[in-house]
């Protein structure tokens, strides 16, 4: 069948799926933003990037206006595929997060429309109001959250079915929409992401780290409160006093990916370093920014303890990769993390706001947790058993997409 993938940053979540569908003999095409130059294993077409609107709507309407504008650009690109190239897909699979799928049924009414439904923003019980440092749960913030959810709800309502990567993320949608969702994780390449005794990492100052060194790793796309960065940093003074040989390696950019910058400007990194001035031995804290994948993987393979904290929100790939690499995980006892980590079985969980518990867990890991070998092996076993993309998640995803082909009709699974 003909399958069209739509993602403004393709391949994104379709990195493994799109070429796998092509390898099975399907005609696969991708549509993406004209400014996206990421390499792709399948043919890619591009739509025009939405232009800056002359008169931006104010306040609550702004986000919806931007998402629908991108949706219109994607729809225009699809109309050109239809009218100028006589292209009609059997299945469209797009990420609904940026509005790109909103109008595609108007171009191809007969095509099955599938959406990657990553998360529906909630006004309570999840990230909004969870951590007062970043969200107080005021009426204004809750109303803004409702407004930002409109295109996500509309996208799933229009779709024939949706895919969510975790049970937690699927559960953010209301029951009447949750029934449209199938849960299949993107999957981890456990042949590539695995323990390695010979892993090493050279730091910018020339120091080389290897397995056996007292290393704490912390990884986030951006160093921001949504991923517990501030809480992690506040635990370090006590941890570093207790373990004078510990080296802290932090990977992530200084901007924000999900939350907002500090209200007084600057970065969260600068803010926390000012707050903790004089309390940290900065010669033992290494901010690497964003690093090549091989360096990131080496860090996971050699670290003695990997700290992963998050408010209730989208689960990071870095947690599943850290588990696959055989890390000893100290994680936050929040709902998305509990889906993968069981305290004392395949990692350690601590209450998100309990700094003393986090300090003790990190110190225990650094000094030599007697259960470390068992917990690390169990963490990897969890990923191999349930999240390996070759044997588990990719076959399920392929089967799910193919169930919507013209011969089978398909259902939501």
- pLDDT, position 409: 47
CA–CA gap between residue 10 and residue 91 (Å, rounded): 17
Find where tokens 């953010």 sit.
Answer: 172
200-386: CATH superfamily: Glycogen Phosphorylase B; (3.40.50.2000)
362 close to 327: Cβ distance less than 8 angstroms: no
As a whole number, the mean pLDDT across the chain is: 94
pLDDT, tens digit, for every residue of 124-167? 888 888 888 887 778 988 898 999 999 999 999 999 999 999 99
φ, ψ of residue 230 to 5 degrees: the values are -65, -40
340 close to 403: Cβ distance less than 8 angstroms: no
Confidence at 55, pLDDT banded by 50, 70, 90: low
2-187+389-402: CATH superfamily: Glycogen Phosphorylase B; (3.40.50.2000)
Burial 36-66 (b: 16+ CB within 10 A, else e): beeebebebbebeebeeeeeeeeeeeebbbb
Confidence at 284, pLDDT banded by 50, 70, 90: very high
Question: In CATH terms, are 2-187+389-402 and 200-386 the same topology?
Answer: yes
Average confidence (pLDDT) over 334-354: 98
Q: How far is CA 375 from CA 207, 248, 315, 347, in A?
A: 29, 21, 20, 5
Domain ranges of the chain: 2-187+389-402, 200-386
Task: Work out the percent of the chain whose per-residue pLDDT is above 70.
Answer: 97
pLDDT, tens digit, for every residue of 154-213? 999 999 999 999 999 999 999 999 999 999 999 999 999 999 999 999 999 999 999 999
Higher-confidence residue of 257 and 273: namely: 273
Q: Is the pLDDT of residue 412 over 50?
A: no
- pLDDT, position 57: 66
pTM: 0.92
Lowest-pLDDT range of 74-83, 226-235, 262-271: 262-271
């Amino acid at each position: 069948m003909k399958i069209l993938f739509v993602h403004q940053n393709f391949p994104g979540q379709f990195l493994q799926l799109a070429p796998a569908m092509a390898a099975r003999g399907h005609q696969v095409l991708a549509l993406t933003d004209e400014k996206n130059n990421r390499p792709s294993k399948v043919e890619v077409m591009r739509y025009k990037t939405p232009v800056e609107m002359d008169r931006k709507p104010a306040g609550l309407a702004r986000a919806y206006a931007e998402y629908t504008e991108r949706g219109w650009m994607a729809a225009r690109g699809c109309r050109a595929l239809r009218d100028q190239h006589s292209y009609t897909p059997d299945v469209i699979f797009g990420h609904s997060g940026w509005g790109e799928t909103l109008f595609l049924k108007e171009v191809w009414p007969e095509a099955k429309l599938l959406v990657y439904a990553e998360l529906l923003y909630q006004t309570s019980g999840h990230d909004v109001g969870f951590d007062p440092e970043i969200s107080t749960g005021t009426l204004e913030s809750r109303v803004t959250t409702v407004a930002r959810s409109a295109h996500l709800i509309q996208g799933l309502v229009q779709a024939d079915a949706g895919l969510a990567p975790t049970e937690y993320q699927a559960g953010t949608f209301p029951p009447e929409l949750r029934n449209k969702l199938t849960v299949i994780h993107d999957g981890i390449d456990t042949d590539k992401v695995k323990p390695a005794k010979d892993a090493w990492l050279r730091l910018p100052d020339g120091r080389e780290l290897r397995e056996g060194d007292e290393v704490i790793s912390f990884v986030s796309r951006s160093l921001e409160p949504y991923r517990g960065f501030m809480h992690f940093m506040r635990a370090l003074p006590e941890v570093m006093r207790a373990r004078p040989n510990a080296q802290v390696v932090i990977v992530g950019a200084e901007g924000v990916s999900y939350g907002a910058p500090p209200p007084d400007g600057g970065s969260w990194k600068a803010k926390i370093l000012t707050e903790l001035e004089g309390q940290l031995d900065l010669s033992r804290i290494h901010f690497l920014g964003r690093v090549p994948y091989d360096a990131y993987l080496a860090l996971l393979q050699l670290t003695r303890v990997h700290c992963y904290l998050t408010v209730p929100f989208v689960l990071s790939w870095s947690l599943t990769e850290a588990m696959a690499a055989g890390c000893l995980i100290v994680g936050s006892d929040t709902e998305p993390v509990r889906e993968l980590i069981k305290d004392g079985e395949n990692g350690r969980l601590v209450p998100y706001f309990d700094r003393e518990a986090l300090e003790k867990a990190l110190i225990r890991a650094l000094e030599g947790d007697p259960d470390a070998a068992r917990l690390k092996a169990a963490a990897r076993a969890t990923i191999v058993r349930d999240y390996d993309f070759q044997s588990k998640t990719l076959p399920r995803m392929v089967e799910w997409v193919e169930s919507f082909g013209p011969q089978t009709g398909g259902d939501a699974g």
